[in-house]
Amino acid sequence: MSRVLDLTSAVVTAPIDETSIVDGTPAAGSRALTALAGTEVGVWEMTPGTSVDVEDDEVFVVLSGSATITFTDGSKVDLTPGCAVRLHAGERTTWTVHETIRKIYVS
């Protein structure tokens, strides 16, 4: 990677596996930016719709868009630009994306 990367066009999305879609036709994609001491740093985005996921150990910061993450215990996190979130490996989540969301993650 060069010193500067335009994150507005860094990710190419593809349809999400049909077995993970709850509503709509969301697409998602990611791009690893670098690895630091065995930890991946990258950018990820998802278009509007709802899908389920099993999380990795991760910290992320939302750059743009809005979404809601619902956890199996019923708790929810509303995501907007500037939010920092910690996910734990194995957590089952439902992502409802209202406006295409883009995040920088460390995993």
- Asked if residue 5 is part of any domain, the answer here is no
Range of 40's domain? 14-106
- Asked if residue 83 is part of any domain, the answer here is yes
- Asked if residue 3 is part of any domain, the answer here is no
Residue 1: band (very low, low, confident or very high) from pLDDT cuts 50, 70, 90: low
- Asked if residue 4 is part of any domain, the answer here is no
- Asked if residue 6 is part of any domain, the answer here is no
Looking at the 3D structure of the chain, how many domains does it have?
1
Percent of the chain with pLDDT over 90: 83
- Asked if residue 97 is part of any domain, the answer here is yes
> Tens digits of per-residue pLDDT, 3-46?
777 777 788 899 999 999 999 999 999 999 889 898 999 999 99
Give the chain as a DSSP string: --S---TTSS---EEPPGGGEEES--EEEEEEEEEETTEEEEEEEE-SEEEEEEPPSEEEEEEEEEEEEEETTS-EEEE-TT-EEEE-TT-EEEEEEEEEEEEEEE-
For residue 60, the domain's CATH number is 2.60.120.10
- Asked if residue 8 is part of any domain, the answer here is no
Is 103's pLDDT higher than 80? yes
Residue 65: band (very low, low, confident or very high) from pLDDT cuts 50, 70, 90: very high
Of the listed ranges 2-6, 66-70, 80-84, 102-106, the least confidently predicted one is 2-6
